[in-house]
Homo-oligomer: A and B are copies of this chain.
């Protein structure tokens, strides 16, 4: 199984364990002549707290050549797919799913804090070993 597929399966299972129903795998977002895809669409059907809450999840592994390169790519995807979702499905919230250690190394550090101060983004951390969601931001 490729690294991409392994992370995909891990986040999918972690969301199910967290009470989400996977409704799209992937979620297709046609725009003009192009077809774009977000990895997962999910919905919270049962939990009272978040009943009807719908999310889209872009899964990032951060296994590229540098953390800054990976961060740039992840932010760009968040902005691009976030804009298309805001247009097509304004009640669905986009999250970047990143390994928990990346969340600690980047989003808890000055570079991530500055980004989150000036740009509204949503991030969820996942533990690739335990297969669990570790944190939702915000």
Q: Give residues in A with beta carbon < 8 Å to B.
A: 31-32, 34, 36, 68, 71-80, 82-84, 86-87, 109-111, 114-115, 117-119
Contact = CB atoms under 8 A, between A and B. Distances in A.
User: Per DSSP, are chain A's interface residues mostly helix, strand or loop, or mixed?
Assistant: helix
Contacts of A32: 109-111
A87 B117 contact: yes
Given A32-B109, A111-B34, A80 B71 contact: yes
B73 A73 contact: yes
A94 B94 CA distance: 25
Query: Which 7 residue pairs across A and B have the least CB separation, nearest first?
Result: A76-B76, A32-B110, A72-B76, A83-B118, A75-B76, A75-B79, A83-B115
Given A73-B73, A110-B31, A114-B31, A36 B68 contact: yes
Contacts of A86: 118
Contact of A80 (B34, B36, B83, B115): B115
18 contacts: A31-B111, A31-B114, A34-B111, A68-B80, A72-B76, A72-B80, A73-B76, A75-B75, A75-B76, A75-B80, A79-B115, A80-B115, A82-B118, A83-B114, A83-B117, A83-B119, A87-B114, A87-B117
